[in-house]
Each structure stands twice: as C-alpha cells, then as structure tokens.
Amino acid sequence: ETGVTQTPRHLVMGMTNKKSLKCEQHLGHNAMYWYKQSAKKPLELMFVYNFKEQTENNSVPSRFSPECPNSSHLFLHLHTLQPEDSALYLCASSQGERFYEQYFGPGTRLTVT
C-alpha cells in the first residue's frame, strides 16, 4: 500500500447506528486531517492531528469523534448522525502541520438514511 488509504470507500448508515471511518497513511507523515466535502460546498476542514495530538477542531458537532492512535492511523467515529451529514469524507496527511504538502486519500462516501 502506498499513499493515503481510506476504508470503507462507501458507507450507508442509519441515524441510530455507530460506525467508524479509517484512514492510514504510508508516507511517514506526522500530521493527519479530516475534511468534509458536501455537494456544492467548499471542502471543510474538520480536524487536524499533529504527532497524534489534536491541534484543531473546526467547530465540528460531537457526533463526530476523531481518534489518532499513532501518526499513521486516523479514525472518525460516527454516531447519531443526521441526513445532512451525508458527504464525502476525505483524509489527508502531511509532514508536520504543513498544509501545502497535503496528500489526500480517495475518501469515504457516507450516506445517512
């Protein structure tokens, strides 16, 4: 595996379900990011982790809970989501918190029913 991988690629969940999105980077980076991409809206930065420490929470609702157990893995735990949370969730990584060298994964297409 190379680059940034995300699983699953597609996820359909009900509003009462609990699920997790996984991101793994194989680039030796130490910063990881979650973005939300909704239809007809700009990409929104959700969370930033640098050396496993959360350095940014961009006013994200608590139904989204990130976890970064090490510099290579990033999770986004989902619970009690709303239909408006349906979107493409993109993970990215970079060497340090250098936003201009972010490498993105393919994303998880989430549908909340």
Partner 1 sequence: AQKVTQAQTEISVVEKEDVTLDCVYETRDTTYYLFWYKQPPSGELVFLIRRNSFDEQNEISGRYSWNFQKSTSSFNFTITASQVVDSAVYFCALIRTQGGSEKLVFGKGTKLTVNP
Contact in structure between 102 and 33 (CB atoms under 8 Å): yes
- What is the bridge-based pairing of β-strands 64-70 and 31-37? unpaired
Helix (H) or strand (E) holding 110: strand 108-112
Closest by Cα among 12, 22, 15 to 91: 22
Q: Is 103 in the site for partner 1 (CB under 8 A)?
A: yes
Q: Is 102 in the site for partner 1 (CB under 8 A)?
A: yes
58-87 residues near partner 1, rule: CB under 8 A? 58
Among 1, 2, 16, 42, binds partner 1 (CB under 8 A): 42
Contact in structure between 6 and 91 (CB atoms under 8 Å): yes
Q: Is 28 in the site for partner 1 (CB under 8 A)?
A: no
Closest by Cα among 11, 97, 22 to 53: 97
Q: Is 104 in the site for partner 1 (CB under 8 A)?
A: yes
Q: Is 56 in the site for partner 1 (CB under 8 A)?
A: yes
Residue 12 CB, nearest approach to partner 1 (Å): 17
Binding site for partner 1 (CB under 8 A): 4, 9, 40-43, 45, 56, 58, 88, 90, 92, 97, 99-107, 109
